[in-house]
Amino acid sequence: MIVCVSRRRSEAGQITGKKDGLFKGRIKMDSLNDILLERLKMRGIAPSTIPRFIKDLTGTLAFDPQSNLSEINRRMHLLGWYDVEVDEHTFQLVLATV
């Protein structure tokens, strides 16, 4: 999906923007990020390691985009993420926010 973003400064100096596409503003994307972060924290991932987890997960997907969740979890375990199982909801949130 291609998203076009236009930004301008308001009279108060704040950046305002208009986004065309699936998300109609930065607030919804930020809330998806917040949901993903909270979900990963609830699954036992320390906040300081969440960026690495997401990087490893996206690297796993780049290696084989047709992987199913079982294969993704197997590869994540090989990378050292033994205590975390990626479920469908978390997987979709990562895809939506990356």
Task: State the pLDDT at residue 1.
Answer: 36
Q: What is the pLDDT of residue 29?
A: 64
pLDDT tens column, 5-26: 444 444 444 444 444 444 455 5
Instruction: List the end-to-end C-alpha distance of the chain, in Å, as a whole number.
Output: 12
Burial 70-84 (b: 16+ CB within 10 A, else e): eebbebbeeeebeeb
Mean pLDDT across 55-66? 91
Residue reference for tokens 């033994």: 82
The DSSP symbol for 47 reads: G
Q: What is the pLDDT of residues 62-76, one digit of tens each?
A: 988 888 999 999 999
